[in-house]
Amino acid sequence: MSEIKALCVALTIHSITMGWKQVMIGKRVLIFLTGAIVSTIALYGSGFSQGRTNNPLTSNGYQPHLGDLMTTMQIRHDKLWLAGKFGNWPLAAYEIDLMLENFQDIALLYPGVPVADMATLSKPTKAIGDAIAEKSVAKFTQAFAMLTAACNACHQSIGRGYIVIQTPTASKFGNQVFPPK
């Protein structure tokens, strides 16, 4: 049952934090959320909560390590910054969406991790969404600082204060163009 609760919390937070996207997508979000809830009920009824391999994230017997998921998050954080810095709003929207999906995976796989609550992310991700919708680099920069602070606060709360995230100082992705074309 904790898997169901974690997924429902993740979907609820995702719905709240992605409110700016609902304006753009409309019915697709409602259809997606309805499908996710129906899928959750189907997974629960099929033995998902009993530890069987019905979880699509672990169906092959492999469960990604939390550190691997967080490294992916760090890459997304970096790319999100570069996209917003250069005003590439479609790429920024894509990266924040991928970050939220990654947080949902973490909530599903590691419900005891503070980020599984995701409440601390709702304000910064909504602010990033608003900045993207307004195409405001200044607002994006402020919202990104809030997101980075939330990352570091989480690291502190779990005794991993030695993991300190900052606004990227240079691109690690020489093979990707970040300014819009």
For the chain, the domains span 2-55+65-157
- The pTM for the full model equals 0.68
- Whole-angstrom distance, CA of residue 55 vs CA of residue 37: 14
Q: Which token pair is 172?
A: 């690690």
- The token pair that represents 47 in the structure block: 């033995």
Tens digit of pLDDT per residue, the chain (181 long)? 444 444 444 444 444 444 444 444 444 444 444 444 544 444 444 443 444 445 566 667 788 898 999 999 999 999 999 999 999 999 999 999 999 999 888 888 888 877 655 677 889 999 999 999 999 999 999 999 999 999 998 888 888 999 999 999 988 998 888 999 8
Contacts from 161-168 at CB under 8 Å and sequence distance 24+?
A: 165/74, 165/77, 167/81, 168/77, 168/78, 168/81, 168/82
